Structure 1
């Protein structure tokens, strides 16, 4: 429990704790999540300050609120955000092993597999600075390791994250064009993400190793720590690590590489590798991160986000699936990739050309539909109509695109295509629910 009356010394001397404040199970900066078990942290936002929602949190029963307001159950501090981060650093210092993971693609997958191998606590999907701070406060004192996803989209952000998380091990999964609107170039991405390797035990994925000469690498082939005898089939991936056989159901190469990372981390932590391999076989990645749904036809849900390197990896995985001929085809369904800057059309065209090589049928939707697929749809409803007519038993359908809205430096909105609705529709049709 998080006791507001037992704050660390760097906070307790500057905080005024209301006598009715009581311990909480966890923290949130979203007042809609406040409850008798969940305390509220009033943080500055892009449009409004969290102080505007303090009363709502108190009415929901929040055990305490971290704020500069003089209200019931307040932990009153001059700056709630600074106090939150100070508290997080204090709790993080109690943990013996914290792993930080970044990269242009594959961060969530690597996090899931590293955490499984280490039997660690790990960050949920939402990985902003406040989310990471709350995670460190809640789990920092645990005897189990912590695995933190450390994504960035602007210069200087990795330095801020490093000051907060201070990982013992820093990992870079991949490097490629992503968030170019803010970071500017692949060279800048290499430099910014490479900050996670400074002052830590550094590990980089096989693809990223070309950008970080001298760093220890993991994966398959010519790397420092390699898995052997990798076999990829529609049923999943198998390989050996040392004398340990690893079997990953419904996994592709990206997941297998993440498993090698996990096993190396477990090995360095002195854990029993056969037990770690058993935990790896049970990993369930979050929806939208290469989740395979087998059935009359197979749907690969990789629709959470997209960048050129991530789409290329997903297409490589699609190639390992059964397909071709009348009994089953490989089908790619691709939408817009966000934050690629002035070269976005060319990057979409490169990805689309590769999709045509890997898939028997390629579909594109949205602004760059014609670049992404031989069959182009302007809108998602048009795409759904085309897919419903085309998809048949035995097919394997990969769905991938960016979601949400990004903002260019001149404040123009760029809308991604949320293809999670396509995944849902394909599954409903397949299972006779629509």
Structure 2
């Protein structure tokens, strides 16, 4: 990871309110980074022994020191006298956040906090692409967007960073407030509000309240970027204490995408304050993400023409709306994850791309919907049936419900499968050159295995 600038073990002990058991003076030890996994730990890093349901990090203390850890943060109640350099704390996971908060305060730079029900990762990547035209950017990597991932991202801050772009994902009330207290964003944005992780929040209104914790954190000196076409976010705007920068396509706002057209590939073309934008990724939902990114750039003095160029060259992260082709068949590989809002956006994209053959939706179960599970899957089927889509293949426990909804909406070619291999075999028989297929489902369904089984290169 490289040296965490100016940080000694004394700072770690102070920020975590820990008890030191090492023999050496902690102020003389300068850690090179932080690790929560002995498999990737590098010499000189601090190992945080995190307790877990399946694996307890305390079982790997010897392995951590064998790999060169300079110290380990352990739970106070289980700490024992040891010759090893241990820092005993009440809760190692909370101590990780405490240290990240302490370290973040050393950097007087813009920090952008991004949350929302869907589109967080793509928006984060777009924001980073736009800002990279002028600044040195630290951005969340992979899926490090939770109470462990956000601290690990912040530990990568250095004098070589001009701005940080932090993705924030939550699955509990108070979770976003906690991440804000650690990352201390100066600019906040919410992509949209929808029924994602709804089993944890009870309702879409509960999701809106949880995401609204970002607005509650941001003070009068901050900037907030909101999608004002989103009904819930339009209502939340009253909570903004600093400067509000509104984006949208339908609503009149400061950063409105005008003259939107989707070409035969589904790529968006629009103008923003007189500047032309031409995207190389499909879907109206990605136009909203692009507006978020361009507006963030504007807020940090990146000219809109530079933002337009960066977004024209932008490509998506793997498994997110990737347009692929094999044997004359095109596929939208959107298999990373799914919730009702992102499903709706993906189906809209499928229905808008021009095809020579048929449009086919291949969808898997959506998880974490709680009491909405049945209705959400039935509505998914109806959504397919109400669009210009020719066939529906559904996979999972809720597949019959999806198909039922599809047939209610008038789609005749609709099939439910409990087995992935059976669905794949049916697709191999059904598909013809000229067809366009969307594949999407929740992460746990592993819909990407269908992609590779059909011969598409990932």
| Of 83-92 and 279-288, the range deviating more from structure 2 | 279-288
Shift in Å, 1:38: 5.4
Q: Which runs of 5+ in 2 are unaligned?
A: 404-413
Q: Quick one: structure 1 residues 397 and 157, their matched pair in 2 at CA, closer, same or farther if it must change by over 3 Å?
A: same
The correspondence for 1:198, drawn from 216, 222, 234, is: 216
| Of 303-312 and 10-19, the range deviating more from structure 2 | 10-19
The correspondence for 2:61, drawn from 50, 54, 66, is: 54
What is the RMSD computed on CA atoms of the aligned residues?
2.7
Number of aligned positions between the proteins: 415
Instruction: Provide the rounded CA distance (Å) in 2 between the counterparts of 1:317 and 1:111.
Output: 20
Q: Tell me which residue corresponds to 1:314.
A: 346
Q: Which runs of 5+ in 1 are unaligned?
A: 405-416
Q: Quick one: structure 1 residues 65 and 361, their matched pair in 2 at CA, closer, same or farther if it must change by over 3 Å?
A: same
Contact persistence 2:177–2:217 (CA under 8 A): no
Instruction: Provide the rounded CA distance (Å) in 2 between the counterparts of 1:336 and 1:12.
Output: 41
Q: Secondary structure at the match of 2:93?
A: helix
Q: Secondary structure at the match of 2:50?
A: coil
- TM-score, normalised to structure 1, is 0.87
Q: Quick one: structure 1 residues 18 and 384, their matched pair in 2 at CA, closer, same or farther if it must change by over 3 Å?
A: farther
Q: Tell me which residue corresponds to 2:409.
A: none
Q: Could you list the per-position Cα deviations for residues 302-358 of structure 1 after superposition, in whole angstroms to 9, with x for gaps in the alignment?
A: 1111111110011111112122xxx32111101111111123111101111111233
1:26-65 → structure 2 map (5 Å cutoff) = 26-36=33-43, 39-65=46-72
Shift in Å, 1:65: 3.4
Contact persistence 1:101–1:150 (CA under 8 A): yes
Shift in Å, 1:273: 2.8
Shift in Å, 1:75: 5.5
Q: Tell me which residue corresponds to 2:236.
A: 212
| Of 40-49 and 382-391, the range deviating more from structure 2 | 40-49
1:241-390 → structure 2 map (5 Å cutoff) = 241-295=272-326, 296-323=328-355, 327-358=356-387, 359-373=389-403, 374-390=414-430
Q: Quick one: structure 1 residues 67 and 331, their matched pair in 2 at CA, closer, same or farther if it must change by over 3 Å?
A: same
Shift in Å, 1:137: 1.9
Contact persistence 1:104–1:174 (CA under 8 A): yes
Q: Secondary structure at the match of 2:306?
A: helix
Q: Secondary structure at the match of 1:212?
A: helix
Q: Could you list the per-position Cα deviations for residues 69-109 of structure 1 after superposition, in whole angstroms to 9, with x for gaps in the alignment?
A: 66677362434334322221122221421111111111111
Q: Tell me which residue corresponds to 1:410.
A: none
Q: Secondary structure at the match of 2:337?
A: coil
Q: Quick one: structure 1 residues 285 and 73, their matched pair in 2 at CA, closer, same or farther if it must change by over 3 Å?
A: farther
The correspondence for 1:137, drawn from 146, 155, 178, is: 155
The correspondence for 2:126, drawn from 92, 113, 122, is: 113
| Of 3-12 and 152-161, the range deviating more from structure 2 | 3-12
Q: Tell me which residue corresponds to 1:74.
A: 85
Q: Quick one: structure 1 residues 26 and 254, their matched pair in 2 at CA, closer, same or farther if it must change by over 3 Å?
A: farther
Instruction: Provide the rounded CA distance (Å) in 1 between the counterparts of 2:303 and 2:84.
Output: 46
Shift in Å, 1:56: 1.6
Instruction: Provide the rounded CA distance (Å) in 2 between the counterparts of 1:284 and 1:74.
Output: 45
2:404 paired with 1:396: no
Q: Secondary structure at the match of 2:126?
A: helix
Instruction: Provide the rounded CA distance (Å) in 1 between the counterparts of 2:211 and 2:364.
Output: 26
Q: Secondary structure at the match of 1:318?
A: helix
